[in-house]
Amino acid sequence: MTDCTPGGTSPCTCGDALSRVYDYLDQELDAASAVAIAGHLDECPDCAEQYRLEQVVKALVHRTCCEERAPEALRVRIVARISEVRITYRRQL
């Protein structure tokens, strides 16, 4: 079994893999973690099935929701709020 926690040394459990499956699906993991999750999915049919289900759900949401864009005013407010949160977070560090 492979390690799927960044810098970790423990075996990749189903709980570990499934807790990071969305990051894996969205390609937001570092290369080592992605390889570890992929290895676990290759070895574990139950987790692989859950991953396939999440792929289908993501594709369905994308297909049904991505044709309409948010109103520009809403998009501007969201981006401004994200920037505000990032600035606040950085100041706290």
What are the extents of the domains in the chain? Answer: 14-92
Whether pTM > 0.85 for this model: the answer is no
pLDDT band at 1 (very low <50, low <70, confident <90, very high): very low
**What local confidence, expressed as pLDDT, does residue 49 receive?**
94
Tokens, residue 72: 């520009």
Q: Work out the average pLDDT over 78-92.
A: 71
2-45 residue pLDDT tens: 456 555 556 788 988 988 999 999 999 999 999 999 999 999 99
**What local confidence, expressed as pLDDT, does residue 6 receive?**
54
